[in-house]
Structure 1
Amino acid sequence: MTLSPGAHRMVRFVVDYGGLLAFLAGFFLTGRDLIAATWWLVAGSALALVIGLVFERRIAPIPAISGGAALFFGGLTLIFQDEMFVKIKPTIMNLIFGAGLLGGLALGKSPLKMMLGTALQLPDAAWRKLTFNYGLYFIAIAVLNEVVWRTQSNEVWVLFRMPGLMILGLVFSFSQVPLMMRHAKTDDPPPPPSPG
């Protein structure tokens, strides 16, 4: 199925953020019940993955990992009726992404270059710096999530989760533009970090 550029962007947005938007809506529509909202997260994540598969005939790796994690941690939340599982999902996922990026660097690899190398032309030193920056960003977001869910109300945490993390991701990505522009043959900003 061939999609227009606008329709393709809409499908990408739904695949990337559909589950989280459903979670946000579910939280406020169910009287701020985090367990009930988790049903919305699980259903929204599953539907987003199906939409990606139907319209794009594939599921991109990052949305597949993020959607799979939402289903896993959401499922644990519903089985055990314990909201802690849905709250620690961003912590664990961001730690995994951060450790993967920094661990790759320690092994002399650039995981970010492997993922984006065809879209961006950067010298290896710039890829290493960008990978290091993103690795630290993901670790910082994991720590921040722990602070927010352990010290704030469910309402504050849900708003931090969506749209807060999306906004932080966009701000961080745009903060990396100067680094890219010094070295890149393109002036497109790096993609925002995927929601954890």
Structure 2
Amino acid sequence: MNNPKTLPGWVKPALELGPIVAFFAAYLLLKDRTFIIGGREYEGFIVVTAGFIPLILICTGILWRLTGKLSKMQIVTAVLITVFGGLSVWLNDDRFFKMKPTLIYLIFGGLLGIGLLRGQSWLKLVMEEAVPLDDAGWMKLTKRVCAFFLILAALNELVWRTQSTEAWVWFKTFGLTAALFAFFMTQGKLFQEHGIEKKEDGGA
């Protein structure tokens, strides 16, 4: 039986965040340029998107190879990036790629909502190992995460439909990431009230 692989602490964040940082840097470098490829004119954003798709797939594949597993969110994110990024490149239309965060948050917010209607915390299924909580804590956290994801979906729609591409790239790279970080930082009281001790396997 294969044991879970232990990686240095920086590897997973580097593989998950590295492509996003690379996308942002490449966009800043190429945003004002246009490229003629196959007789068609493409803006820098579309070219950067075309490079981002294989990069995220390669990093996701490396992560799976190193850890032996991927979360459902990582799989769905990679699929949506491929589909909607691919549509943006194929149709030379940046709107499809900008819709991708909206769909990700709607899908996961909707799934959590379905679980709540069934009286279940589906968030617990994917985060139980990382965040040990009692059942009441999981239900509270799931309701909050569900609402938060739906708010982020609406916010992404508002930004990409009303702001420039550059403003959306800044929002996508830093705004959404900061919002997720701030959200979980504000859940400290819930973690404190509903946290449970992890059981140690075997003695020291």
Counterpart for residue 86 of structure 1? 97
**Matches of 2:182 and 2:71 in 1, distance apart?**
23
Q: C-alpha deviations, 1:139-187, integer Å up to 9, x for none?
A: 0000000110011111110010002211110000111111111110259
Cα deviation 1:111-132 (Å, max 9, x = unaligned)? 1111122333322221111000
Deviations 1:87-138 (A, max 9, x none): 0000011011111111110111111111122333322221111000000000
Residue 80 of structure 2 aligns with which residue? 69
How many residues are matched?
A: 185
**Alignment match of 1:122 (pick from 129, 133, 156):** 133
| Map 1:36-185 → 2, pairs under 5 A | 36-185=47-196
Opposite residue 24 of structure 1, the aligned amino acid is F
Q: Is the 8 A contact 2:134 2:196 kept in 1?
A: no
Q: TM-score, normalised on structure 2? A: 0.83
Amino acid at match of 1:157: W
Tell me the distance in 2 between the aligned counterparts of 1:116 and 1:4: 18
* Residue type of the alignment partner of 1:130: L
The range that moved more, 45-54 or 142-151, is 45-54
Q: Which structure ranks higher in relative contact order (CA pairs < 8 Å, sequence separation ≥ 6)?
A: 1
Q: Call closer, same or farther: CA 1:70–1:61 in 2, change over 3 Å.
A: same
Aligned residue for 1:78, secondary structure, equals: helix
Displacement of 1:65 after TM fit? 1.6
CA contact (8 A) 2:4 2:68 kept: no
CA distance in 2, matches of 1:4, 1:91: 33
The 1-side partners of 2:112 and 2:69 are apart by 24
Q: 1:122·1:183 contact (CA, 8 Å) conserved in 2?
A: yes
Larger Rg: 2
Conservation of the 8 A alpha-carbon contact between 1:42 and 1:70: yes
In 1, Cα distance between equivalents of 2:22 and 2:177: 15
TM-score by length of 1: 0.86
Structure 1 unmatched runs, 5+: 188-196
Structure 1 counterpart of 2:11: 11
SS at match of 2:10: helix
State the partner residue of 1:192.
none
Percent identical across equivalent pairs? 32
1:92/1:129 Cα in 2 relative to 1: closer, same or farther (>3 Å)? same
Question: Which structure shows the higher helix fraction?
Answer: 1
CA distance in 2, matches of 1:91, 1:173: 20
Name the aligned partner's letter for residue 22 of structure 1: A
Stretches of structure 2 lacking an aligned partner (at least 5 in a row): 33-43, 199-204
SS in 2 for 1:59: coil
Structure 1 distance, partners of 2:82, 2:67, is 21
Letter in 2 for 1:13: P
